[in-house]
Structure 1
């Protein structure tokens, strides 16, 4: 299964107007979005019941996951035509 993630290819469609990526066009893109959502929900729950130090750690984890999502989406979006 790891081989499927290492193969070259586009996972996200390019938006017709504006900047950014659209919806995923491959199953790998949907997996990336599902994992991101799971991390955000988990950190949100962790942050809700946490002490201040744990809440900061959850916030750092959320920011790191968002940065990783941006990196993956930017690398796997269709290039300009």
Structure 2
């Protein structure tokens, strides 16, 4: 099934790297608020996501007063 550009949610994530952005896209992450429900460790399991991407997402979250979920 082919998705049109209009059927996808608008992304508000920082541009990290092509592999990291693709990994987040495939996992369904489009809004920063979604990362408050996931830990850094969980994101690092995504193929293409690395420490640099985590740092960039963390900075973007902090700008909005948000943070990753805490380890349980």
TM over 0.5: no
Task: Tell me which protein shows more helix as a share of its residues.
Answer: 1
What is the TM-score of this pair, normalised by structure 1?
Answer: 0.27
Kindly name which structure, 1 or 2, has the bigger radius of gyration based on alpha carbons: 1
TM-score (norm. length: structure 2): 0.29
